[in-house]
Chain A
């Protein structure tokens, strides 16, 4: 038995035979032909374009009924194939430099792919993959090799490849591809996005997988843990077969909850919110009541220069449109010395998480802060929007943040630019010092949202980026629930909305305790929604309150986790007995 590790980008388990997929690899060298053959060589190129178009047309035709979305990818490939500039430059290389057609195609397509990769917009940069895909198709045709793909397989397999191209994944035989392993690729790669939308378990970034793994051998893909198990022992296979059945069962049950109105067993309603960090319209808006955390860092990270007010305004307005009338909580820029921006001087610090970050940094860089606030306030004229400051430690911070908003509001008023006069302004609670005076913070803020990741980090004095001390990062410690209970109580008593937008809101075990402590607004990543709706539906209000009380009086994190697991297991057992 041997275990390879990688990034689990699409959850699931697969047991199947290995299929090593080696896509056509263009082996192109710098080469030239003798003068006089120009027309012949150029014809080879134009013939290849015609043949490539025919292949693409055939794929589009086979897909346009079943999956018009995927057919679009190939229509885009046809567009690239017909790009005038590309064709002109290839022609020029053939006629003026006597470059062999394959060399000319390789040079020109690669140059254009690099051009696209430089684009600020990740969607455009992503199109470079399509360009390379088309290049490979043309080169393969020039070499006279047949088209090969993963569109019709005879048996169930785990596909192992160096990387998959958009054309490979779009034509994937979904009935037979049980899992995907690639040597390259992270969570945002093309393959990752596709695998999770198809719900195919995938572990990416497994070095040398195509060399280590052997064709036809049974492999276990554990895309929950990020493991590929080679030559598994019999007991391991049996174990995983059971795990797979269990996974399928819970996924199915959970999926049924995605659409439901969130209620606990005794009928009390809670709200589920979404955490987002892009302008993607398909983030899962239809399953939630609000957007509890709109991270705005993406606008700053992907840009070579400070994102302009208009650029931000357009993005914020787009998110409001995506949210379909549900309120959106925009968090102002949350970065510090652990990141660097090309257009802003953020000195490296020894302790960036205790340093000049987030609101502190924004208060220092007034122009940066005011530009974002102006864009946010302008967008607030187009839909319900709230503004939230990260890294608030004192009432001074609250006042400074509020004052900045008031100044920008006054500017906009004098310029006659519309915005929501009643816009709510609140804070993240993630520093223990503000949690301890939540009663006073509640008086000077319209709402608050707890960032449990940073709260855990600051409460336990544990750098969550340091892998050596992960065991000290205890989000299930009794201390966490005592402080959370206090925050919820103070805000609830003040009649101000309180939510949690940190990881804990999306963790089923923690959600039970949070509800018992008085939380009614849970904001999370889309993938967590169904799980939280389901788990809370198993408990009554009174039960969650008793559980919360108990948790706050257990001694250690492991006691808390064991206790919560036992409480869940009791109810799951009842359910499965009732089903039989």
Chain B
């Protein structure tokens, strides 16, 4: 199990294209990957490979999040996803 925290900085939030890119990236790894927002106590661990579940979280700009992976490529998965989030998905 490996995890990292970051803050979503792109204006669109984890919606639309950024959400699609995020999920596609998560799916490219074998490990089980989850995302959780840290600004709400009862936020569930969400399957990062499910576009619908990710969208339903409605994660908007400036939301702190934790990305967690469990499996053979867990570290690479988390690092890549954090890198993608921190790149603001190419916005501005």
Contacts and interface: CB of A to CB of B under 8 A. Distances in A.
B51 to A, nearest CB: 5
B58 A83 contact: no
B87 interface: no
Contact of B15 (A80, A121, A131, A317): A121
B58 to A, nearest CB: 5
A314 B62 contact: yes
B1 interface: no
Contact of A118 (B53, B56, B62): B56
A119 B59 CA distance: 10
Nearest to B12: A318
Given A86-B52, A115-B52, A119-B58, A124 B11 contact: no
B49 interface: yes
B47 interface: yes
Interface in A60-89: 76, 79-80, 83-86
A314 B61 contact: yes
B60 A119 contact: no
Interface string B17-39: 00010010001000000000000
A232 to B, nearest CB: 44
Nearest to A314: B61
A85 B45 CA distance: 13
Interface residues of B, number: 19
Interface string A84-127: 11100000000000000000000000001001101111011001
Contact of B51 (A79, A115, A123): A79
A303 to B, nearest CB: 11
A311 interface: yes
Contact of B11 (A76, A131, A314): A314
A310 interface: yes
A125 to B, nearest CB: 9
Given A85-B47, A121-B58, A123-B16, A318 B11 contact: yes
B90 to A, nearest CB: 15
B75 interface: no
Contacts of A321: 11
Interface string B42-82: 00000101111101101011100000000000000000000
A83 B52 contact: yes
Contacts of B58: 119-121, 124
A79 B21 CA distance: 11
Given A314-B62, A317-B11, A124 B55 contact: yes
A80 B53 CA distance: 10
Contact of A84 (B11, B13, B49, B62): B49
A123 B15 contact: yes
Contacts of A86: 50, 52
Contacts of B60: 121, 311, 314
Contacts of A112: 52, 56
Contact of A127 (B23, B55, B61, B62): B55
B15 A85 contact: no
Given A314-B61, A314-B62, A318-B11, A124 B47 contact: no
A84 B56 contact: no
A84 B32 CA distance: 11
Nearest to B63: A310
A131 to B, nearest CB: 7
Contact of B53 (A85, A311, A317): A85
A121 B62 CA distance: 15
Contacts of B23: 79
A127 B57 CA distance: 13
A112 B53 CA distance: 8
A118 B56 CA distance: 8
28 contacts: A76-B20, A79-B51, A83-B50, A83-B52, A84-B27, A84-B47, A85-B53, A86-B52, A112-B52, A112-B56, A115-B52, A115-B56, A118-B56, A120-B58, A121-B13, A121-B58, A121-B60, A123-B16, A124-B15, A124-B58, A127-B52, A127-B55, A310-B62, A314-B11, A314-B62, A317-B11, A318-B11, A321-B11
Interface of A: 76, 79-80, 83-86, 112, 115-116, 118-121, 123-124, 127, 131, 310-311, 314, 317-318, 321
Interface of B: 11, 13, 15-16, 20, 23, 27, 47, 49-53, 55-56, 58, 60-62
Given A80-B51, A314-B61, A321-B11, 4 more contacts: A79-B23, A79-B51, A112-B56, A116-B56
